[in-house]
Structures are given as C-alpha cells and as structure tokens.
Structure 1
Amino acid sequence: MYFQFLVINTKNFMIFQLQNYLQIFAFSTDFDWDFDALCIVFQSLLCNALKCSTASRLRAFVQEFGHNIFSTDGTVLFCKICNVKVTAEKRFAVQQHLSRDKHINGLERSKLQNEKNNTQSFITDVPNKSEYFLDLTRTFLSCNIPLNKLENPAFSKFLEKYTNKQTPDRSTLRKNYVSICYDETIQMIRSYVENKKLWVSIDETTDANGRYVANVIIDTLEVGNIEVLEKTNHSTIAKVLDKSLSILWPQGIIHDNVLLFLSDAAPYMVKAATSIQTYYSKMIHVTCLAHALHRVAEEIRIHFPNVDELINNVKKVFLKAPSRIQIFKTMAPDIPLPPRPVLTRWGTWLNASMYYCDHFELIKEIINQLDGEDAVAVSKAQNLFSNVILKHNLIYIKANFSTLATSITQLETSGVPLIDSINIIQKIKAEIQKAPNQIGKIIYQKLSTTLNKNKGFKIISDISDILNGQGTINEIPDDLIANDLAFFKYSPITSVDVERSFSIYKNLLADNRRSFLFENLKQALVVQCNIFELQPYKKFDSVENWVCVKVPVFRHFFCFSRFFLKLLENVYFFPL
C-alpha cells in the first residue's frame, strides 16, 4: 500500500524512471537498505518534478493572459504593466492582481500610448521633428505660457532633470512647431465639420493696439474666426463671414448648412445680414435678445436720474479709499461693499439699484458718518440720501423690474433649450406689462418696439412653438425643411459667446506681449482655445447626436473644446 501511494502521487511527474527503480527493488534482498535508497530517489524525483511543474504553470499563465502582460524566467511571474513580481501559486492570485486598480489604470495608459503611436498624424510632411518638442509646444500654447519661459534657467534645468531631454530654444519651437500645431488643428476641424449644420454669430470691437477686430463664432461644430477690419460696416462684416466659412470649407462653402446668424442690433449688422441672406437662403438672422433686454434696462436708468447719480457717487466714495472701506466693514460686516456697475455690462446697473433698495438705511447711515468735506462724492451722496423720492424710486424699480436682471443672467447661460429661452422673454414681457404709471408704460413700449424690430425673433419663436408641439410649420420660411427645424432645439438667441471671446483675445494681448506678431498670435490662439473646457449643450434627441459646444476662436483659425480635442491627455508631460 505504501508503494502504491507513492506511485499514485508521482505518476504525473516521472513514472518511467520510478518504475525502473521499483523493478530494482523487487529483486533486492536487503529490504531496509533499498527502502532508504528508494526514499532518497523519490525525494529527488519529486523536487525535480515540482520545479518542472512551476515553470510550466508560469508559462501557462503567460500564454493565457498574454505576453504583453506577463513574462517569466521559469521561477517568477513578472507583470510588465506594473513592473512587479506576481504571486502565482494559484490562478486566483494572478486574477486578483489583474483586478487591482493599479493594474487596470496601468493597462489603460499602455493602451492609450499604443493608440497614440499607431495613429497616423494629420501632418504627413513633417520629417525629422521631435515629438517631445511638438508636445511641449502644444502644451505651452494650450496653457497660454509664453515660449520665452524656456529661457529661464530654473525651468530649463527642471525639464532636463525630469525628462532627460534637451530643452529647445524658443525660436526653434516658434519657427518649426507652432505652425504644425495650427495646421494639425485646422485639418481636424475640417474633417469634423463636414456635412454638419451650424449657426454663426459675429461682433466687433477695438483691441489694445487700435485695430478693428471682428469675431466670428460658429457653434455646434466648436468653430470660430477673427478678422482685422479697416473699418466696420455691412460690407466688411459680410466679407468676414464669407472668409471665415471659406476657411471652414476650403473646397466651397455649403450655404444650406448655415441655419442661424446672431449679432447685435447695430444697423450695419442688420444690413450685412440682409445682404448675405441672398446666398444663405436658409439662414435666420436674430439680433441678440440679451442686448435687447439691456437696452430696456438702459431706458429704466434714463427715467431715474437720481438713482443713477447715487450709484455713481457711492461707487466713487469707496473707490481706492481704504479708510472708508474699513468704516464700512466695521458698521456693516455682513453685507458686501457697494457694487461698481459698468454700463456696458448687461444688468449690472439694475443689480446695483436693487442692492441699495435692500440696504438703504444701513448705507445711508454709513455715508452720513463720513466727512462731507473730505470728497465731493461724499457730499453728493449725503444730499441724495436726504431726498425722500430716492427711496420711493428704488422700491419701484425693485418691485417692477427685478426680474429683468435675472432674465439677462438666465439668457447668458450656455446650453439653454430654445423653448426655455423663448419662455424667459415672454415671462419678462408679461411682468413689465404689469408695471404701473406712465414710466411702466414707456418701459413696456420700449421692450415691445425692440422685439418687433427683431424680425428673426418672430421666426425663432414660431420654431420654438413647433418644437413644443404647439405651432404649425406653415408659419416657417419655405426654405427650411422639417429636418432643419429639429436642429434648433438648443439654438441660442444671444451673442454672449462673442462677447466672451473678446475677453480671451484681450487676455492674450497683455501689456508685456504687444510685440506679438499677428500671425504668431493667430497660431497661438488656435491651440490655446482648443483646450478650453466650456460647458457643452445637451445632445439633440434623434438628430445625429448633435452636440453644441460654445468656444471662442480667432483670426483665420478655429478652436475646439473638450468634445473634439483633449490635447492635455495626449501631450508628453514630465513626471515629478
């Protein structure tokens, strides 16, 4: 029984050799000596068999889970992803390692790196270019970091220490790599916008160098453009639009894909829209509704000059006056300092008037504590607070027009469905209509006149009714087909994104960067804007999963947000 047990437990190892030894034992007469020898033989055979079994088991794991995951030298199992030895006595231990977060994350990084290496570049004519230099350039441009920072010795040594690569000269990147990033982005944009519907928004301003600049925003395809104008009139605006769209479609503009044109209500903008609608037959021109409400707010300001004067003088009282600010914080620690409205910023004057209505007595007490002879603004503010009519006017403004400022803020939000945007306008119209006395009637008449001049607003309102299941398609222009109307579900009715684009443009033109050549400025902006993480619209229901993302972009180029380009996920970055 003992020998049978040994044979059974070693039959998978070296049965042939064992049987030979058993045959020798069968003819032996010295049982004790042969038994001891046989035990030694069994022990040796068993050890060799176990070694052979471990190596084969490890090789089996490598074969099962892949040579790209594990490797073995016959004694240990090594994970290539995690760079660690793995316990392999049981299959469960190997599976447990594979299920750990560290291994899963490492595997994802490995896949992304392989995909990046296997992806064909959009730019095929870039021989002998360093991928590290290209990624470094893209990162600097995306983060709005001037390339001259590479000349800082501390930063240069830091890069060389943690990347083991030579830090390039800024001129090398500017001459050889900035244009590559720009061309790469343009090509990707053109590929993405093919056969897509879109809307356009245009506005103009004057930059810090005195140039007339017109910004073009093209939405749903995350695209835009900027042009320098000799002057601003309807013909230059029309040319800017055509030039921007020709960059988008170099083989020929697809006019029927432009469904909506947003601008302010400047006469030359309206005239430009009328002229280009000859070529863009499906395009609806809507003047910005936030601008419209702001003009109504301006009408309110005109009819309450004493409130306007109070806001201006109290703002001056606490402007660059730390001692007065300290008095204010001591007497009113729980409320913020008086607001400083800017007339060109929508709704800020109305918000300021409501602030003074909410804290009238406390602000009056603080102003009266100040020395009237210290400044003219203090004296004027004290006189205004002594006027009883001022308080009545503040109450009237808040009671009848407080929703106007709220409505402007709501319209400034990105991604609002068209139905909700139209409801905001209808609601504020109903609220202002209820305002009593002659001033209320004048304000309501101003709102009605402004909306009636906006011919596109009537069409867009009818489309909203259809999307809400209430209107009829007979009220819509004949050029727009049913499929086109579905794309209006999240269409905006304000040009707020163009206004925001000017802020980004001016931020790049800082005082210490005025020597920026315009061509380099253009190429830097395209990469920088590509990395902005702006809030996207919701997806369109059953309309090609269309996604609207509002992103500003500038002169001769286009910019994307996270929906299309995630540059930081693909660039080389130095480990700390």
Structure 2
Amino acid sequence: MPKFTVSKSALKRKWIAGEKDFSLEGETIFCKPCGKQFNFERKCQLEQHKKTTVHATNIQKQGNKRQRLLSECPPETGERPSSFVNDLVAVMLQEAIPLQKLDKETPLRKFVEKYWESEAIPCVKTLRTKVAPATHFQVIEKIRDEIEDSPIWCSVDETTDRLGRNMVNVIVGKLSGKSHSVTNEMLERFGMIDDNMCSFCGNEIETIKHVVLECPASQLQREELLKEITDHSLQLFNLDTLLATGTDPIHCALFKFLSAINFKV
C-alpha cells in the first residue's frame, strides 16, 4: 500500500490530544502555564518539557491563582485621565480596535498626538487599568437601564484566549410581548407570565400562527398584503422569487405586513 505523509501540524495535534495545558498554533505548540511557544520536532521533547521544574511550578501557580473579575478590581487612585482619553478608549472598544494600537511608536498614537497636543496620551497599561474598566461599567449600566425588570434571554460562550486565560462571552436580549416574534404562549411556557392570551384580541392563545393568520386585529394588514400580492403578475411566484432575499415586490409586501403587525424578523 502507498505511504501517506502526515503533516507536522497533524502529528503535533496528536501529541497534545487531551492535554488541556497545550494548544497548537500552526506548527508551534503553545504551553499555557508557561506562556511560551515551543517548536518541538519530536514528542520526547514535549515530554521532557512537561517534566521540568519550571513547567510543574507554573501549573501549580495556575491552579492556585483565580482570575479576577473587573468588578473585583480595586479602584485606581491618582490623577484621572481627561474626557478626551476616556472618549478615545470608549470609541476604540466600541469599534473593536485593540488598545495595543496606542502603544509607543504606532501610527495611530502618532496621529492622535499630532492633532491632540493638550496632553500626553497615557501608556496602554494605564488605559487598560484606569479607563477601560470605567467604560465597561458604563456599558453594564446602560444594559441594565434598557432591560429593567423585563424577562431576558441570554447566550453564554466559554472560551480561552491565546494565553490560556478563561473568557466568557455573554449576549443578553430583552423578551417582550410587544414583539410578536416572542409570543405570550412562549412566555407562559417559560414561566415568565401567567396569561398566554393574545395581547390584541384577547380571544385566543397568542401563537405565531394566531398572530399572523387568525388574529382579528391583523385582518386589515392581511387584506392589504393579499391585495399587493394579487396586483402583481402570477409569474412572480416561482422558486427564485420565493427564495430571494432582494427587494422584489413579493418580499417587500411580506415585510411590510410583518412590520405592520409588529412581528420582528
């Protein structure tokens, strides 16, 4: 039988299979406890590294050290950055621009310093420790103000960064009966409300089928939708029309109808 050549990355991936302390970046093995990259050519080199005193010490430190949350960090003392610096950091975070872009001798820092001569831009470490947490808390307060006491949905994704530090991404949304994409039947089933009757007619259980096809409160919108569709040639009803995502008359009429009955899509 012909021999198959195994790539180095595939081979090294087998070496670290089941190893939570190592990850593979291309053909380089990254040791999370040590925070270093190693270009091991043989598996025995990896095994030797795992037996070193430095690696064992770093694993012990990692186990004893719990990563602090922003809410647990003590407030920074000393001179506060100006409103310009606060706004600059806030904009960079909102636009997903790494603060590292403001490090020394970077083009962005030179540009900012050229047109903002009133004060020196703090170093990146100061921006992270003094400015970024304040922006974080402002966003949290804004989310709390928007949600208030309403039922919510959330999606949580746990991951790690390239240094092996734990990270959690959380998306939070507001569940509201005002939007018919979340019906009273759903909210009642999840134990968020006690009454699952339609918010408009009050005669039937509020399901998506009822809101779109049966609710008397949506009768006028359904008639307008039917009229707009029948005004167009039947040639429009083909597979391309039904599956299209453009601005053809059929889809425009459909989205107009859904918007009229406050159905979020």
Per the normalisation by structure 1, the TM-score is 0.18
Q: Which has the higher contact order (CA 8 A, sep 6+)?
A: 1
| Structure number with larger C-alpha Rg | 1
Per the normalisation by structure 2, the TM-score is 0.36
More helix by share: 1
